[in-house]
Amino acid sequence: MIITAMSDVQSVLMALVITIGCCAGIIIFSLQTEHDLTCCMGIVCILRLFLFFFIIIAIIVYITTNIMWVYLVYAGLAALFSMIFLVIDIQLIMGRKKYKINAEDYVFAAIQVFFDIVYIFWMLLSVIDGSRSVDQY
């Protein structure tokens, strides 16, 4: 709520609509597809590690040169990787692929899906709000 309070109403609503559309599409895709993305968790973790090093470089670049678009690239990549994590988490919950979540771990899985969706919203809001602030200058 604090993050959305610091943004424009139009930016928040736009990020909300995009997040709902993306998450609905991702859920439908993960339920209908024959592709097993649960086997790709190692690759996705390596990509997340790359994203971690990218944000360190982006922070250094932003502090030294005050270039905002580096953070916008990071936020876009982070939203994309979170969407991939959402597909994997939904497939883990459904349990029709190679890996699945046990019946005792459904609370953990629900929390994981919730955090994926919130992170997608946060990164999309960062991109939308950041692009508006870049356009103002």
pLDDT at 137: 43
| Whole-prediction pTM | 0.82
pLDDT tens figures, 44-82: 889 889 999 988 988 888 888 888 788 888 888 889 988
Q: How would you class 2 by CB atoms within 10 Å of its CB: exposed for 0-12, middle for 13-18, buried for 19 or more?
A: exposed
Do residues 85 and 44 touch, judged by C-beta distance below 8 A?
A: yes
Query: 100: how many CB neighbours lie within 10 A of its CB?
Result: 15
pLDDT higher than 60, residue 134: no
Q: What angle do CA 74, 80, 85 make, to 5 degrees?
A: 120
Residues 80-88, mean pLDDT to the nearest whole number: 89
